[in-house]
Amino acid sequence: GDSVTQMEGPVTLSEEAFLTINCTYTATGYPSLFWYVQYPGEGLQLLLKATKADDKGSNKGFEATYRKETTSFHLEKGSVQVSDSAVYFCALSGGATNKLIFGTGTLLAVQP
Amino acid sequence: DGGITQSPKYLFRKEGQNVTLSCEQNLNHDAMYWYRQDPGQGLRLIYYSQIVNDFQKGDIAEGYSVSREKKESFPLTVTSAQKNPTAFYLCASSIDGRRESYEQYFGPGTRLTVT
């Protein structure tokens, strides 16, 4: 079945460092891809999405490109801030039910 | 202000008791979803509803029940048959549950502890 694999954390970076969180997927058909962020004790917030191959989603300095040839949707940010510390989830949605399938999440800790 | 509300934020119950978690949305969304989150794991789908008066089992429906009598409301009951009910429960909604391109919006979650 469909699945999402993302790099295990925690990822610890210093402020202003470059961030990459890897995400790869397995799916039949052409899913939509999402990155969600979860701050401690809260629900998930949509960070960005891409709905077809070669689409680039972007928001708040974060970017991810839908790469069909490598089945990947890696999250990047050029300069992280302490306020970016959170858990990041990669997810896909496919088929006629819009069910989301999540990766296990990656904890990002940014130190000042 | 549109959004999804879940109440209460924290819930404590004794083993063997059923408990109902509330989820309300004023986004006029057709589809609603319940997920369970355990430490160090991603979210797993419990139930979903694409339209009023209809719902489907997700990947881990055993020990749970839902109803969808109103578009705005999708309560989840955790029954005594659920073996490990302690978890963080998240409700979500989307405009149309039949299109994969529509994102889901999440509520703030309810942390359930059963002792």
Residue B39 makes CB contacts below 8 A (sequence gap 6+) with: none
DSSP characters for B1-39? ---EEEE-SEEEE-TT--EEEEEEE-S--SEEEEEEE-T
Rg over alpha carbons for chain B, rounded to the nearest Å, is: 13
Q: What is the pLDDT of residue A97?
A: 66
Contact A31 B106 (CB under 8 A): no
Q: What is the pLDDT of residue A95?
A: 66
Contact A98 B56 (CB under 8 A): no
Q: How confident is the model at residue B39 (pLDDT cuts 50, 70, 90)?
A: confident
Contact A43 B41 (CB under 8 A): no
What's the mean pLDDT in B23-49? Answer: 93
Q: How close is the nearest chain B Cα to the Cα of A97, in Å?
A: 5
Contact B109 A96 (CB under 8 A): no
How many Cα atoms within 13 Å fall on the side-chain side of residue A18? Answer: 3
Residues from chain A contacting residue B50 (CB–CB below 8 Å): 97-98
A28 to chain B, any CB pair closer than 8 A? The answer is: no
Distance CA A35, CA B7 (A): 26
Q: Quick one: closest CA in A to B58, which residue?
A: A99
Residue A38 makes CB contacts below 8 A (sequence gap 6+) with: A44, A45, A86, A87, A88, A89, A105
Q: Quick one: closest CA in B to A40, which residue?
A: B108
Q: How confident is the model at residue B77 (pLDDT cuts 50, 70, 90)?
A: very high
Give how far Cα A65 sits from Cα of A49, A101, A105, Å.
9, 18, 18
Q: How confident is the model at residue B35 (pLDDT cuts 50, 70, 90)?
A: very high
Distance in Å from the first CA to the final CA of chain A:
41
Q: What is the pLDDT of residue B110?
A: 96
Contact A34 B103 (CB under 8 A): yes
What's the mean pLDDT in A22-48? Answer: 93
Contact B31 A98 (CB under 8 A): yes
The amino acid at residue B50 is: Q
Number of Cβ within 10 Å of residue B41's Cβ equals 13
A40 to chain B, any CB pair closer than 8 A? The answer is: no
What's the mean pLDDT in A48-77? Answer: 96
Give the length of chain A.
112
Q: How confident is the model at residue B63 (pLDDT cuts 50, 70, 90)?
A: very high
Q: What is the pLDDT of residue A105?
A: 95
What's the mean pLDDT in B26-49? Answer: 92
Q: How close is the nearest chain B Cα to the Cα of A38, in Å?
A: 10
A68 to chain B, any CB pair closer than 8 A? The answer is: no
Distance CA B11, CA B86 (A): 10
User: Which residue among B6, B48, B90 places its CB closest to the CB of A44?
Assistant: B90
